[in-house]
Amino acid sequence: MSAIIVDSALTVRRLSIQELQAIPEELFDVQPAGFNNTIRWNAGHLVYWMDAYRSLCFSAESLIPPSYASFFNSGTRPADWTGTPPAKEELMERMSRQLAAIAEIDPDSLARPLPSPLQFGPLDFRLAGELFSFGLLHEAMHLATCGCLAKAARRA
């Protein structure tokens, strides 16, 4: 069963890369009315949180620069950025590196308890697989948001 979670993670990440690659970079910073963030923010958020999930679940070393937290952590937004965020090409490269890292996950490691239970709002995670599975749902939600942002940006 754990191998299915790893396979699903690979599928979701491949879909994310494919969908984001198809969106022109000139749309990455458009923030249509009614949206809190941009495609660039959502793409970076996916990179940031996949890195965090790998670290939290498997004690994996970070594959991203520390500056990503100030751009893409939960609660950040482009309107507050004081520096230049990564280009689309860099984000896509990091997503691809993470794809390779996901492929190396031992499915048996998903059954291991986290070093300490984690609580995100009303959600409680005790096993690596619980948190990593949530990460897949999280990625799919943000990928859908990117699709909505792209459609709205093209109409703007």
Integer angstrom CA distances of residue 151 from 23, 31, 50, 56, 125: 10, 11, 25, 34, 35
User: What is the DSSP-derived secondary structure letter of residue 118?
Assistant: E
156 residues of the chain, pLDDT tens digit each: 689 999 999 999 999 999 999 999 999 999 999 999 999 999 999 999 999 999 999 999 999 999 999 999 999 999 999 999 999 999 999 999 999 999 999 999 999 999 999 998 999 999 999 999 999 999 999 999 999 999 999 987
Nearest to 148 by CA among 13, 47, 19, 50: 19
Record the pTM. 0.95
CA 7, CA 113: separation in Å to the nearest integer?
21
Q: Tokens 């890369």 — which residue?
A: 17
CA 142, CA 58: separation in Å to the nearest integer?
23
Q: Could you tell me the CATH superfamily of domain 2-155?
A: dinb family like domain (1.20.120.450)
